[in-house]
Chain A
């Protein structure tokens, strides 16, 4: 998985990627441990909030309201950001966004010369558009400064979690990456120790040099505040704050879904986000800036915001799926998801993994790619339960499955897809009680050849053909009892009208478990 960017247009199907990852016991152990730790922390700080459910409701209402009036709030943000000295750019898609960012970076150098380096704050939006690759192609190296993103970058790896991108690596693996890949003139990292302090110290030495030298920074955004034209980023390490304050030029790339109407709305969002994301009451660093400082020489001299659509208006147009855009990227659904806990994030073939990735990615691809993701869920609902803005992820998953089935059922594909044919046939069976009865009989006959009796005389199936073999790989299947419930009920009525049903129960035909 490492090395190649997570690209939904070329990624294998979820079940294929998952199969490989499930064999990696170290990865599974790391993911399991990390998700458990964050889940426990989250549960503790959520549990201490008596008004948590009200906060979730407020969060959902704010997001819903914003999406309903997105055009208004985006234009308001644009006006206010410009008035404060920021520049606002609009990008219809990933390609436009990449071009705009590369163009701004190239023009940001002294004496008209393009810089060859930028520093970056952790940003899923820039991962979504594979910005680093585009910068590299233009001769500009991007240094990731978030500790986890640095680990990913030095390890030639890919992020596996929205909030904790290196969650699939443990401390000794990180030490190995640092020892092998960290290069700084005059510093020898090859004898690096393995304590958290040792690793943080190495990262600090490595990054400080970048902060002090590189004059252009690229960030994402947690929130855009329409009322003030301000941008908000929350983080844990302070490395983001370095990127926001030290460089001459700052470029923030944000999806158009990141806007909130008022400064006051942050009151709700900045309670929901840290508690859900990292299990902290408040983020250690909360940066909010508005344009450029015209009075003192503090902070960047030039500030750009790139507002990117990249299929978001398409999502907004779908009434049943638009709640996807309410996401504030806390990652709580990933930590809670029993599927994600088994596979980690790379199986999703997208920078957005887990339940939110399973609904967001196919929609960002306008349903042309990642069609296996809506099925990467047992619909257990743990994601919905923890979502701070109450996105009903299972509902959206089901809605997207319907879209996938419609694609598969179109035209000739129907005839070669056994699943589509089988489910359509079964649907016809259920439309008539008579046909259902006959099918029950046929099913019993059909499974005769496959079943074997155990010591208690109960038949079990240990092997099934084709797709159904997925079941019998690790599970047996008990055969159908001789008598269906409805046959029993009818028989009982005929045998002794008015008799108590319970009398017959114990003497039923020996297929009890």
Chain B
């Protein structure tokens, strides 16, 4: 299959390793990956912070870049949730019938990375090897908007060598929430402290998930406290191979 990668603005800039890992996994599974060069951002930050008019042109850009894709894959639950939850409404706002139809046709072909593997490709074992103690954080958008369920856990359980340990507060928000972490820094920090406690209680070496924004948040505190526990996107675990 020809898979078009929507890397998302923050993964492109801050987490290129995640993108590389997605490419590696998909190519290992026999798919070709293309990268529409004109892509930028899904518009989530603007839409969710209240700058909805500013987000609208980003919908047009996305559709222009990906309209001919066979499948669009992105390693970010919150960006995919943004698109699935709001793009139809945004097209409605723009009062553009053609765009509305294109959005309706395109969205079913848009996949969050782990769901693409488990639901579209029907896979659990992607041939990965990762000999570390790992815990998994369920990002809110993946959990409650995309309903990823235990898909990511199934992928992780199939990884050879992994010591997977479940976190006590799995479904609890880490407190990131985009601009929430800055606008309500005190509350966000308090939420983060609870999540970090959960991570540390697992005695894991790494905390993984399907969204680098949550992982950046949790990882930022883990680094500040010099815990030695590192955040790692699920794609990077699934890309790892024995002797690789």
Contacts and interface: CB of A to CB of B under 8 A. Distances in A.
Nearest to B221: A475
A323 to B, nearest CB: 14
A426 B45 contact: yes
Given A18-B187, A485-B11, A378 B50 contact: no
Interface stretch (A56-64, A173-181, A264-272, A379-387): A379-387
Interface residues of B, number: 78
Contact of B192 (A431, A475, A485): A475
B46 A423 contact: yes
Contacts of A339: 184, 187, 191
A111 to B, nearest CB: 56
B160 interface: no
A436 B9 contact: yes
A475 B217 contact: yes
Contacts of B61: 430-431
Interface residues of A, dominant DSSP: helix
Q: State the majority secondary structure of interface residues on B.
A: helix
B191 A501 contact: no
Contacts of B223: 454, 460, 475-476, 478
A378 B175 contact: yes
B244 to A, nearest CB: 6
Chain A interface residue count: which class? 35 or more
Contact of A430 (B58, B184, B190): B58
Contacts of B182: 467-468, 470-471
A430 B177 contact: no
Interface string B1-43: 0000001010111111111110110011000010101111101
B175 to A, nearest CB: 6
A501 B38 contact: no
A380 B19 contact: no
A433 B65 CA distance: 11
A471 B181 contact: yes
Contacts of B143: 381
B109 to A, nearest CB: 21
Interface string B179-194: 1111111111111110
Contacts of A481: 14, 16-17
Contacts of B58: 427, 430-431
Nearest to A499: B27
B13 A484 contact: yes
A440 interface: yes
Contacts of A377: 177, 180
Given A338-B172, A424-B54, A506-B244, A381 B187 contact: no
Interface stretch (A68-76, A286-294, A360-368, A397-405): A397-405
A474 B192 contact: yes
A500 interface: yes
A433 B40 contact: yes
Contacts of A431: 40, 57-58, 61
Contacts of B52: 398, 402, 405
B13 A375 contact: no
21 contacts: A15-B187, A375-B180, A382-B171, A385-B144, A398-B47, A426-B46, A443-B13, A467-B183, A470-B182, A470-B188, A475-B217, A476-B220, A481-B16, A485-B11, A485-B18, A485-B20, A488-B16, A489-B23, A489-B35, A500-B27, A502-B23
